[in-house]
A and B are shown apart, each in its own frame.
Chain A
Amino acid sequence: MSDSKKPLIEIKDLVKRFGNFTALNGVSLDVYPGEVHALLGDNGAGKSTLIKVLAGVHPATSGSIIIDGKEGKFSTPRQATDAGIGTVYQDLALNALTSVTRNFFLGREIKKGPGAFGLMQMKEMNRITIEEMAKIGINISNPEQPVGTMSGGQRQTLAIARAIYFGAKILILDEPTSALGQKQQMEVLKTIKDVQKLGHIAIILITHNEIHARLIADRYTFLSLGEVIGSGLAEELGGDDIKRLMAGGAEIGDLRDELGA
């Protein structure tokens, strides 16, 4: 991948504290369009916190987020989406009790009429939902079915399709494959690959699965205890580096010895 490209999003010295607890301590990273940027690290490293700050769920304590050269300050999720950040959360932010369509358009319903009391255009919304899901490889038979009745992979696709449809330039995926079966994992990876091929979308992928990361990531950043402990291009990093950094810098070899003993 060429370094001559301009990053779509630059994160500089981001600090996030929850009271006395420092969840992120000066994190910096750049993400380029058409690239999958793998964000790796142990449990509690701060990955989810980082993307929640990017998505406007938590305000940053200090530091800056620059999107397309413009400084972004998000105090609501709406502002982040408007700036082009589409987030697919670990919990997917879906309401299992309502229909696929109602979830696809949640918060951005197509409506006619005054304010929040405008009538939703259900037919049009159903049509778009089916189309957009089909575009990234899932055919749903009934857009009125409750999301609770969908499979994990289908839910993941719904969340990704939703983010892309609403103009995400930066797609953030928090452990998209963690709860899925083998076949569905591969489907989701293929979906991500498809999105990457579109070329104009920058993807931040959080995963604990080294194999998945190696299959699709172009660039890596490793977090541990709220700090960046390593980063680099896919071709620069060896398999052992990745394993070691993913575990927060501990020597896997040592660990292997310990377990063996």
Chain B
Amino acid sequence: MNSSNPTVQRKESDRQGQKKWYSSFTSRPEIGPFGVMLLLFLLLGYFSIPEGEFSINPFAGEGFNALGIRNNFRVIAQLGIVALGAGMLIIAGEFDLSVGSMIGFAGGCMAMILKWGFAVVIPYISFDGGFHFEGLKLFEITDVSPLMALLITLCFTLSFGWFQGWLIVKSGIASFIVTLGGLFFLRGITEVSYRAFNRAPDQTAGSTTVTELPDIKNIIIVPGHGEMERDAAKLLPNDQLLEILSKVPANTVAKLTEQLTYINEKVANNKTALAAKKMIETLEKSLAGAKKSGNDSMVDILTKKIEAGVEVPPVAAKAVTDIDIAKAYIDTIFTARPVANFFGGDIMEPVFDWLYFSVDWNVNMYGNMFAKGMYSCLMIWLLLALVCYFVLSRTQAGNWIYSTGGNLSAAQANGVPTNKVKISLFMFTAFCATMFAACQVFEVNTADTAKGNLKELEAIAAAVIGGVVLTGGFGTILGIILGTIIFGIAKEAFFYIPGIDGSFYRVFLGAVLVTAALTNENIRKRIIGSL
């Protein structure tokens, strides 16, 4: 017999190979999306650097200047919010096509309530003076706070999410069909409501937008004036502005003065530099002209002049006036509508201030601050992602979600309330859509019926690119986040690549989507042992 080393009994654990230090990273299913994301970031960084300039610093270009970061992450965060809901639902084995329409519905609902108030009306048929409808008003709130508008909207959207989930688990109809119904139903209801509420007294159909909402997130309490919009406060007559300033503590005034001085100097310096640059350009143009016409002496003079460098008179910095300080002070007053600000305002302002005043980076070409902060939806996305991560990977509910999608009958046999799991997740996608809508409405103070169009498909695509398998049971929050970033950044990155049509980003995303789906399916098969 040639058995090796018969004195040592081989154990099951001997069959487990030693792990390399990096294998826990490279064997994660997110490694693919992570690579694609890095590639896109590099493309965006590299190609957004203006022509003629050379830099290996990807932050040197427009793609990653402060404003670029602010705007790109808004696109990513908004998609991310709905992708989390869609992804979790797919992991549980269902999906929701009504997300986009739900965004439109929720936004419209919120904006209409903010504009016209909220009332419960019971319609009935009246024959008084001919057959027509009458309404019996049960109660009415005329001045609805942002929080109240959000809560009322959530009542509608969560109920609708619950209803879709309930219908799907009770009837066994595919979620594709039920939520496709939801897609049409909600978009229709939204359009109908917009027109009905916007209807003019002459009964012509109204528009499908809500505009002229106040800038709620920027309503502040101005000393001596009460609540008003920030922009209106800055337009107050000078004597009133000075009176406001007279009550501001001295050290605040000193700090604001210092900041304004810094800004004015910076603007002046940049103006000087711009003037110099313009002059050089003019000289170079003349030089080119002189060369063309063969005026050698002129070429000589101009070349020397350019080599010597130009001297432009420095632009004097604007003096800081008390009016400026008063306006700057108004800018620092904290909002009186924290809920609206939470959804539609900015975050990380101190960081962006620091980047401008101390790091000297967040500066546009005129010397002013480029971006004042990040959009609040970024914070909402990250908060939601954190919660989802904990729920999915650490809690009992997470294990239930995975098993509901992974093996429904096994989950049921072990007492997992799979119907509750699914219904809750349909409500969660509705919740995410409402959060998306709240971010939009409170940011731009308008709403229209087209909002959220196609978002349901983008959310599904982002989740799939991030490693979620459509048949359920497989995927992670980290993957969904990466998929979202890929989806959100691709358009920007392709826009900057010279010589190609910007729409190639769709071609790229299509290919990535299908590749991702194939890879996911392979990983899944390997795990369930059929490969």
Contacts and interface: CB of A to CB of B under 8 A. Distances in A.
A120 B396 CA distance: 6
Interface string A138-153: 1111100010110000
Given A107-B415, A148-B527, A149-B529, A97 B473 contact: yes
Interface string B234-246: 0000000000000
B384 to A, nearest CB: 15
Interface string A71-94: 000001110010000010101111
Contact of B529 (A92, A96, A117): A96
B406 interface: yes
A106 B12 contact: no
B13 A94 contact: no
Given A97-B473, A146-B527, A91 B12 contact: no
B407 A96 contact: yes
B402 A97 contact: yes
Contact of A119 (B395, B410, B473, B527): B395
Contacts of B400: 107, 116
Nearest to A152: B529
Nearest to B403: A95
A107 B16 CA distance: 29
B517 to A, nearest CB: 16
Given A77-B413, A77-B414, A87-B413, A98 B395 contact: no
B475 to A, nearest CB: 10
A55 B414 CA distance: 10
A94 B407 contact: yes
A171 B13 CA distance: 29
B15 interface: yes
Interface in B423-474: 473-474
B12 A111 contact: no
Nearest to A149: B529
B288 interface: no
Given A95-B473, A146-B527, A117 B395 contact: yes
B413 A116 contact: no
A171 to B, nearest CB: 15
B11 A139 contact: yes
Contacts of A140: 12
B415 A118 contact: no
Interface residues of B, number: 32
A102 B399 CA distance: 7
B415 A108 contact: yes
B524 interface: yes
Given A111-B395, A116-B396, A93 B409 contact: yes
A42 interface: no
Nearest to B474: A97
Given A141-B13, A141-B16, A149-B527, A94 B410 contact: yes
B103 interface: no
B402 A98 contact: yes
Contacts of A138: 12
Contact of B528 (A55, A139, A148): A148
Interface in A189-224: none
B439 to A, nearest CB: 25
Q: Pick the most buried of B13, B396, B473: most chain A CB atoms within 10 A of its CB.
A: B396
B416 interface: yes
A97 B394 contact: no
Given A98-B399, A111-B395, A140-B12, A93 B527 contact: no
B397 A117 contact: yes
Nearest to B525: A148
B144 interface: no
Interface in B288-317: none
B31 interface: no
B259 to A, nearest CB: 45
A6 B474 CA distance: 47
A55 B413 CA distance: 8
Given A77-B414, A108-B415, A96 B12 contact: no
Nearest to A55: B413
Contacts of A109: 396, 399
Contact of B397 (A105, A116, A146): A116
Contacts of B15: 141
A136 interface: no
A57 interface: yes
B20 to A, nearest CB: 16
B415 A97 contact: no
A141 B12 contact: yes
A97 B521 CA distance: 12
A95 B474 contact: no
A140 B395 CA distance: 24
Contact of A116 (B395, B403, B415): B395
B410 A91 contact: yes
A56 to B, nearest CB: 9
A93 B415 CA distance: 11
A108 B13 CA distance: 27
B414 A107 contact: yes
Interface in A213-244: none
Interface string B3-37: 00000000111011000000000000000000000
Given A111-B395, A148-B528, A57 B412 contact: yes
B391 interface: yes
B413 A118 contact: no
A141 B398 CA distance: 24
Q: Pick the most buried of B13, B398, B406, B414: most chain A CB atoms within 10 A of its CB.
A: B414
B394 A93 contact: no
A255 to B, nearest CB: 35
Nearest 7 A-B pairs (CB), nearest first?
Answer: A141-B13, A107-B414, A148-B528, A78-B415, A93-B410, A93-B413, A95-B406
Given A57-B412, A57-B413, 19 more contacts: A95-B473, A97-B524, A97-B527, A98-B403, A102-B402, A106-B399, A106-B416, A107-B400, A107-B415, A107-B416, A109-B396, A113-B395, A119-B390, A120-B394, A120-B396, A138-B12, A140-B12, A141-B15, A148-B528
8 contacts: A89-B413, A98-B399, A98-B473, A107-B415, A113-B395, A117-B391, A117-B396, A120-B396
